[in-house]
């Protein structure tokens, strides 16, 4: 069955493989901060609020870059965006290894803010999840949900590979050699991807109007903001960013260490979460092609909300720590395939890069708020309880918003079906 699926679109599946690799390495680099927080708090005497402000800055800049990157993707294709973004993020990670070194003239604070956070975030924005999803969606009509889920599951692959290995290497040789080595590897993968990707935009459909490709960004924004479905999906995705990228991805390892677990144990649990990220995303992609997508999306948000209850019981209970990692990981990126599918079918394939970029900007803003909010609450209360309660409540609201989205055929719109009426 898989061979038949592959043979139906071999060039598309090659793109899926390249996207998987570049997203794995870029996202793995982006998620390195939680492993570094405990050591940097001690070495540089930085507060958790300051460090989580760095995480928020990454998400804001990355999210702000995504709509521009999506606009360029819609017009010119993914080659320079994906390879350039991966190379840039790798260089920044390696350069961060010099932070605090005697020969470095720039202060650690400004290196952290300027290089590790700001400049690397620009690279992450060029290889972000909406860019990956849109790149794949442009090359598939049949099996679109499955293809998006497999390629985008690189976000889990990156965490599965990076976080546990980084935790082990930091313990063994220190964080500076670890970042230098990983940065070089990321840049190498980005260089290889340049030769495997092509500068092609979305495939032309019979009779399909191409006006969306020539629309200015301002025109696209005006059209997008008139769509009720944008506000439903965008509101849910904003909450998704708050609860996942902002709260769990930034604070899970620090929370685990505050509950008495070692850095290596917290990193290992994150690795398990990442592994099930991949499982959940692929399974969600399979279901997206077969089920009512708003119902699927809302159910994922609802079940995700319930998992926050487990975080109240992880102290002295290793089984529950890893149970949370398994369940939350399965649900974590399971929102991506149905969201991308709904964006493609409701808002049009020709602008999917830009539209997903706008949604991702909202996701990143939510993540930035969640990151800073969680750090501020911990610094003031020294506990995370209210963070989990608020995250649970918001995830339930996201479920309601997703369930309110009407279903529509995923078949790519034709000239008689306006892309953004």
> pLDDT tens across 36-52, in order?
888 898 899 988 888 88
* Chain segment 332-362, per-residue pLDDT in tens: 989 988 998 898 888 877 777 788 889 988 9
Q: Which residues of 299-330 are buried (b: 16+ CB within 10 A; e: fewer)?
A: bbbbbbbebbebbeebeeeeeebbbbbbbbbb
Residue 49 forms part of a structural domain: yes
Report the length, in residues, of the chain. 421
Mean pLDDT of 106-122: 91
Residue 357 forms part of a structural domain: yes
Decide if 148 contacts 136 (C-beta within 8 A): yes
Q: Which residues of 105-134 are buried (b: 16+ CB within 10 A; e: fewer)?
A: eeebeebbbebbbbbbbbbbbbbbbbbbbb
Instruction: Measure Cα distances from 188 to 87, 95, 119, 128, 225 in Å.
Output: 7, 15, 18, 18, 39
Predicted local confidence at residue 66, as pLDDT: 85
Query: Which percentage of the chain shows pLDDT scores above 90?
Result: 38
Instruction: Measure Cα distances from 285 to 263, 288, 289 in Å.
Output: 33, 5, 7
Q: Which of 193, 183, 217 is nearest to 64 (CA)?
A: 217
Residue 353 forms part of a structural domain: yes
* Secondary structure (3-state) at 412: coil
Mean pLDDT of 200-210: 49
Q: Which of 159, 193, 183, 170 is nearest to 17 (CA)?
A: 193
The dihedral region occupied by 77, where left means phi > 0, alpha psi between -120 and 50, and beta the remainder, is: left
Number of domains within the chain: 1
Paired tokens of 229 = 């479905």
Paired tokens of 150 = 């497999």
Residue 273 forms part of a structural domain: yes
Q: Treating both helix axes as pointing N-terminal to C-terminal, what angle do 48-76 and 352-381 enclose, rounded to 10 degrees?
A: 180
Residue 297 forms part of a structural domain: yes
Residue 99 forms part of a structural domain: yes
Q: Treating both helix axes as pointing N-terminal to C-terminal, what angle do 144-152 and 263-288 enclose, rounded to 10 degrees?
A: 170
pLDDT at 274 over 90: no
More confident residue, 205 or 281: 281
Q: Which of 275, 354, 396 is nearest to 70 (CA)?
A: 354
- What number of CA atoms fall less than 13 Å from residue 53's CA on the CB side? 11
Mean pLDDT of the chain: 85
Residue 268 forms part of a structural domain: yes
Decide if 349 contacts 417 (C-beta within 8 A): no
Decide if 23 contacts 154 (C-beta within 8 A): yes
Residue entry with tokens 């991949």: 278
Residue 242 forms part of a structural domain: yes
* Chain segment 356-413, per-residue pLDDT in tens: 889 988 998 999 899 888 888 888 887 889 999 999 999 999 999 999 999 876 444 3
Mean pLDDT of 72-96: 90
Rounded to two decimals, the pTM is 0.75
Domain enclosing residue 301, as ranges:
12-200+212-403
CATH of the domain at 257: 1.20.1250.20
The dihedral region occupied by 313, where left means phi > 0, alpha psi between -120 and 50, and beta the remainder, is: alpha
């Amino acid at each position: 069955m898989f061979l038949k699926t592959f043979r139906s679109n071999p060039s598309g599946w090659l793109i899926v493989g390249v996207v998987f690799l570049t997203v794995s390495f870029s996202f793995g680099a982006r998620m390195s901060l939680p492993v570094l927080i405990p050591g940097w708090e001690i070495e540089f005497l930085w507060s958790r609020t300051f460090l989580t402000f760095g995480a928020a800055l990454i998400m804001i800049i990355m999210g702000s870059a995504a709509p521009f990157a999506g606009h360029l993707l819609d017009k010119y294709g993914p080659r320079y965006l994906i390879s350039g973004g991966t190379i840039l993020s790798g260089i920044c990670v390696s350069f961060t290894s010099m932070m605090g070194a005697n020969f470095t003239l720039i202060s650690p604070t400004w290196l952290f803010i300027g290089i590790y956070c700001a400049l690397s975030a620009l690279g992450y924005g060029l290889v972000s999840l909406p860019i990956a999803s849109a790149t794949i969606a442009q090359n598939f009509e049949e099996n679109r949900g499955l293809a998006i889920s497999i390629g985008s599951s690189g976000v889990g692959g990156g965490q599965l590979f990076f976080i546990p290995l980084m935790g082990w290497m930091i313990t063994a040789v220190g964080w500076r050699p670890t970042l230098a080595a990983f940065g070089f590897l990321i840049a190498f993968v980005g260089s290889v991807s340049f030769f495997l990707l092509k500068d092609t935009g979305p495939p032309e459909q019979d009779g399909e109007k191409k006006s969306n490709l020539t629309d200015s960004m301002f025109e696209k924004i005006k059209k997008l903001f008139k769509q009720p479905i944008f506000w439903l999906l965008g509101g849910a995705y904003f909450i998704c960013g708050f609860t996942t990228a902002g709260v769990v991805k930034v604070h899970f390892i620090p929370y685990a260490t505050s509950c008495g677990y070692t850095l290596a144990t917290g990193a290992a649990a994150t690795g398990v979460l990442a592994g099930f990220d991949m499982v959940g995303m692929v399974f969600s992609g399979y279901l997206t092609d077969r089920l009512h997508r708003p119902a699927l999306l809302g159910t994922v948000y609802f079940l995700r909300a319930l998992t926050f209850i487990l975080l109240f019981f992880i102290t002295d209970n290793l089984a529950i720590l890893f149970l949370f990692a398994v369940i939350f990981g399965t649900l974590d990126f399971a929102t991506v395939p149905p969201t991308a599918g709904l964006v493609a079918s409701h808002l049009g394939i020709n602008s999917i890069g830009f539209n997903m970029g706008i949604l991702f900007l909202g996701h990143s803003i939510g993540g930035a708020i969640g990151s800073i909010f969680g750090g501020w609450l911990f610094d003031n209360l020294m506990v995370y309880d209210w963070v989990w309660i608020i995250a649970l409540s918001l995830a339930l609201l996201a479920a309601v918003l997703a369930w309110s989205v009407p279903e529509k055929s995923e078949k790519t719109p034709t000239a008689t079906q306006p892309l953004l009426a």
